[in-house]
Amino acid sequence: MKIALVFPGQGSQKVGMGADVYSALPNAQRIFDTADRVLGKSISDICFNGPEDILKDTRNAQPGLFLVSAALIEALAQKGIRPDLVAGHSLGELTAYYAAGVLSLEDTLKLIQARSEAMSASYPSEDSAMAAVMKLDLDTIETILSDFKDTPVVAANLNCPGQIVISGTKGGVEAAGKLLSEKGARLIPLPVSGAFHSPLMQKGATQLEAALQTFTFVDAQVPIVLNRLATPVTLAGALKENVSLQVVSPVRWIDSVHYIASQVDVIIECGAGKVLSGLCKKIVPDFPIYSVSSVDDIAQLSLS
């Protein structure tokens, strides 16, 4: 049986995430304790106890989500479950790098810290917005957004049929949202601190590209399906180049999941929440898809 592990991104965070894994597994404790030391703050306490407004800060949500997934990767490995293919949604892509052996635990933490700081500094959060556009096809959305190129507003996350996330300036997203609503869309504003995967992240991408020079990447042990390409990559150089490009590029999750389902027998979401498994079920509804976000989930997981 071939297995794909997929890892969630920002928006899946929740106060209390990872606490049960930390309590139950020594390897999880090592991962969280290492993060507290590397990051110079108690990210474990923020994950376990919040408060929510502190946890949702990009600089805390991104490393926190990675840690929960990393701890669950260890727990799955103890059960004999190892991936043949990996992918992650936005921040989750760096978790996929770690799962594929491209970066060490410490280097992944440092890179996520650099990424979150660069993204936070890219563009003022008070003038940034993202919104999920429900019940409208991508062609119609892109036709309407073609008038907002200079604002800018773009289709940032192609999550599943009927759910496309737009990203850009606050005023631009509001104006585009009105036109999309007139076409029958339902808009849900997202509680994020930046216009992620849009041209407004370019400053952060440039800053991140400079920071990348201090990191050593190695070839992936299993293929990583990249967000911006929806195709597998294993070579260290291409994976390194991708990190800064990814933050200004759309997340092509629909195409990525179709490719993944063509290569494996089962998909397991590994991390906080069940957002990705829900999206995957809408993209490939008849495919075996599981979600593990807790010790109980792993105990109950049966792939036979």
CA dist., res. 277 & res. 270, Å (int): 9
Q: CA 298 → CA 76, 209, 216, 272, 282, distances in Å? A: 7, 37, 32, 13, 23
- Spot the catalytic one: 12, 44, 69, 90: 90
CA dist., res. 48 & res. 36, Å (int): 13
**Residue 72: which of 101, 123, 32, 112 has the closest Cα?**
32
- Spot the catalytic one: 89, 116, 197, 256: 197
Look up residue 55 and give its two tokens: 């946890």
Contacts of 256 (CB under 8 A, 6+ apart): 87, 225, 226, 227, 230
Query: How crowded is the C-beta side of 15, counted as CA atoms within 13 Å?
Result: 9
Active site includes 197? Answer: yes
Active site includes 258? Answer: no
Kindly tell me the sign of the dihedral angle through the C-alpha atoms of 122, 126, 128, 134.
positive
List residues bridging with 165 in a β-sheet.
Answer: 132, 157
CA dist., res. 191 & res. 265, Å (int): 34
CA dist., res. 112 & res. 62, Å (int): 7
Show which residues are catalytic.
90, 197
